[in-house]
Amino acid sequence: MVETDTLTILKRAILLETRGKAFYKKAAEEADNPVVKEFFETMAAEEVEEEIMSESDTLKILKRAILLEIRGKAFYKKAAEEADNPVVKEFFETMAAEEVSHVKILSEQYKSYQANNKFIPRTVDEYSADVTDQIITDKLKDNISAAGFESAAISAAMGMEERAIKLYSQRADEATDLNEKALYRWLADWEIQHLELLAKIDKEVTETIWNDNSFWPF
């Protein structure tokens, strides 16, 4: 029987996801740095979870969102523990604390929906997305080495935030319940601010190391 192009492409997609999971799992096993290990473990788990994304099940997506935030908290907490500089440590602790607040809100929404198939209405103030931009300071930038552990953690965190944004934005677009839509739109906006924050740090640290070593050709 001749397969259609659709079936062939689906098979290739499944094969790629399976290989990706195996690659990330192996990389995690061989990684010595705990943050790098955590990153690859997260990537491996995400490959598995991509398989259930086609199911528009509200509770499953809430579970996945909670899991993403728990992993984010664990990642930032571990990065804070590994950081030697107090300024850098405080930055990662702040990021971890924000993930904790997301877990709390999502868990409350999960319990509400599980009990009565309804999301808890939230006010604009409760869904405020005021990420503390002032933590990006010259002091913070000067204490992160572009070739060091903290810089690697920043890069890994950017990947995690991008995946969270993808999930939350997609669900915000698909949701028909206005309270659910507001929840995921707020989460997406918050994680976008996180990503912008991390990207700014990464850019400034990279430019600093290039300037210090006269790498720029102009």
Tell me the HSE value of 93 on the side-chain side, using a 13 A CA sphere: 10
34 lies in some domain: no
The pLDDT value recorded for residue 56 is 43
31 lies in some domain: no
19 lies in some domain: no
Q: Pull the structure tokens for residue 16.
A: 């790629």
Tell me which residue of 139, 98, 120, 137 sits closest to 178, measured CA to CA. 120
96 lies in some domain: yes
The arithmetic mean of pLDDT across residues 23-36, rounded, is: 68
Are the CB atoms for 73 and 107 separated by under 8 Å? no
78 lies in some domain: yes
Helical residues (DSSP H) of the chain, grouped into ranges: 5-30, 34-49, 58-82, 86-116, 138-142, 149-174, 178-212
Calculate what percentage of the chain has a pLDDT beyond 90: 31
Q: What is the CATH number of the domain that holds 195?
A: 1.20.1260.10
The pLDDT value recorded for residue 188 is 93
Grade residue 214 by pLDDT with cuts at 50, 70 and 90: low
Are the CB atoms for 76 and 93 separated by under 8 Å? yes
Chain centroid, CA 217 distance in Å: 34
- Is the per-residue pLDDT at 179 higher than 90? yes
22 lies in some domain: no
- Is the per-residue pLDDT at 171 higher than 80? yes
pLDDT digits (tens, 9 = 90+) for 33-88: 666 666 666 666 665 555 444 434 899 899 999 999 999 999 999 999 988 888 88
191 lies in some domain: yes
Q: Looking at per-residue confidence, does 203 or 109 come out higher? A: 109
Domain with 111, as residue range(s), is 56-212
The pLDDT value recorded for residue 210 is 64
4 lies in some domain: no
The pLDDT value recorded for residue 44 is 66
- The number of domains in the chain is 1
> How far apart are alpha carbons 112 and 183 in whole angstroms?
13
Q: Pull the structure tokens for residue 44.
A: 């491996």
Q: State the helix-helix crossing angle for 58-82 and 86-116, rounded to 10 degrees.
A: 160
| pTM over cut 0.85 | no
> How far apart are alpha carbons 132 and 148 in whole angstroms?
24
Q: Pull the structure tokens for residue 51.
A: 């398989």
Q: Angle at the Cα of 137 (from 134 to 140), degrees rounded to 5?
A: 120
Q: Looking at per-residue confidence, does 57 or 1 come out higher? A: 57
Are the CB atoms for 165 and 191 separated by under 8 Å? yes
Q: Angle at the Cα of 19 (from 14 to 20), degrees rounded to 5?
A: 95
pLDDT digits (tens, 9 = 90+) for 6-15: 555 555 555 5
Are the CB atoms for 149 and 155 separated by under 8 Å? no
